[in-house]
Amino acid sequence: MGNLNLDLIRAEFPALNNDCIYLDNAGGSQVLKRVADRISNYLLTTSVQLGASYSTSQAASEKVLSARRAIAELINAYHDEEVVMGGSTTGLMFLFTQAILPSIRDGDEIIVTDSDHEANIGGWMRLKNAGAIIKIWPVNHESLALELADLDTLLTPRTKWLAMTHASNVLGSVNPVAEVAEQVHAVGAKLCVDAVAYAPHRLVDVQASDADIYVFSFYKVFGPHYAVLWGKRDLLLALPTLNHHFIGPEVLPYKLQPGNVNFELSYGCAGIADYLMDVGTQLGELGNNRQRMQTAFDHFAQHEDALAEKLLSYLRSKKQVHVIGHDHVKNGNRMPTVSFVVANQLSESIVRHMDKFDIGIRFGDFYAKRLIETLGLQSHGGVVRVSIAHYNTDAEIDRLIQGLEEALN
C-alpha cells in the first residue's frame, strides 16, 4: 500500500487554498469539490419534482435513489430503505423520538449519558411527558469513560432505550458501542448511537455496531449541511408515518422524511463515498468498494493519530495545561479532537489569541453542556478544542504549537 498523498487530498478541498488553518473540523469539515459539483449538477440539470413520467424527472429520480444506495454502502446498511436523510442530526433525532412517542408507556425507562451532544439527549428528555423515566449514565470522573459496570446498575427489565455517542465531541474518546448493544439487548432494550464525532475519522459500519438506530451529520464528513439516520428495517417499519396520512407505514424511508429529502444535497452526499473509494484506489487497494473506503480511513487514522499525538505531547509538557480526556494516542483510543483548559486562564482568551494567527480553533461546551457542567469546567468558559482532520498537515500543527507557545507564556 502507498502513503497518503496530502497534495492530492488537499486539492479535493478548494477552501484549503488560503492562509487559514482549519482546526475546527469537529464543528464542520471542509467540503469536497466533487460534492459541490454534484449539487450544482443536480440544480442546473435536473431540478424537477421526482416521480413524473418525462425523462428529466426520471433522471432526477435515479440520481436521488443512487445517492441513497451510495450512503447505504458507505454505512454498510442492510437495505437502502433503512437510510433516512434530513437536515441535521438534531432534527432527525427529534423526528425519531416523535415517531416512537406512541410506544412509550408510564414507567418505561430511557437511559441517556451526560457526555453526549444535546442532539442525542434533548429529544429523549421530552419523552418524560409521556411517562418515561429518564436515567443518566454518568461519565466516570477518573477515567472520563462511560464504564460498562456503571451501565449494569442502570439496566432493568423496564429499560426501553439507551442513547449514547460513538465518540465524544469533547473528550475525543471512543465508546464500545457493540459491547453496550449486547448489554442493552440482553434486557430487551434498544440502542441509539450518535456518530457525529466518529464518522469523520472511522469507516461507519452500522451492522458491526449492532445499534438499532445510528445517526450522524454529513457536514462533519466533508459534505453539505445534511444528515442521515439509519435504523433496522423491522424497527422502522413498526413506526407510525410522520408524513402525510396517505403515506402508509410500509413506505420506507419516505414515511420518516416529511416533505421528502433535499434532492440536491442527497445527490451531493454520494460524492463523499466516491472520494473515499478513489483515495483507497490511489493507495493501492484493489478490493470492493467497502475495502477501498476502509483503506482510505485506515490511512486517515494513522495520519490523524500522528498529528494528535504531536499536539498532545506539546500540551503534556505544559504544567498549567490540563487535557480533558486521554492525553496520549494509544491503539485507536481517541479521535483527533483534543480539548484542554489552562490554569488561571479563560478558554476564550486562548482562542482569541490564536485568531490573530488565522488559526481556526474554538472554545465552549460544543452543545455537550451537561458534560462541561459534570466536569466543573464552566469557570473556564468551557474548553479549548482543537479538532484535526485528515487533510491537516504537520506544518499546520507546528504553526498551532508556535501560537500556543505565545498564548501560554
pLDDT tens figures, 397-408: 999 999 999 999
Q: Which string of DSSP letters, residue by residue, matches 45-73?
A: H--S-TT-SSHHHHHHHHHHHHHHHHHHH
pLDDT band at residue 2 under the 50/70/90 scheme: confident
Residue with cell 487533510: 391
Summarised one tens digit per residue, pLDDT across range 67-84 is: 999 999 999 999 999 999
Q: Which string of DSSP letters, residue by residue, matches 196-261?
A: TTTTTTS---HHHHT-SEEEEEGGGTTS-S-EEEEE-HHHHHHSPPSS-TTS-TTSTTGGGSTT--
User: Phi/psi at 338 (nearest 5 deg)?
Assistant: -115, 120
Q: What is the DSSP letter of 170?
A: T
Q: What is the mean pLDDT of the chain?
A: 97
Is residue 1 pLDDT above 70, yes or no?
no
Structural domains present in the chain: 6-30+290-408 (3.90.1150.10), 36-272 (3.40.640.10)
Residue with cell 470522573: 141
Residue with cell 490523524: 304
Summarised one tens digit per residue, pLDDT across range 145-159 is: 999 999 999 999 999
**Given its phi and psi angles, is residue 318 left (phi above 0), alpha (psi -120 to 50 degrees) or beta?**
beta
Q: Rg (Cα) of the chain, in Å, rounded? A: 21
Is residue 39 pLDDT above 70, yes or no?
yes
pTM summary value:
0.97
The closest alpha carbon to 221, from 55, 70, 357, belongs to: 70
Contact 229, 213 (CB under 8 A): yes
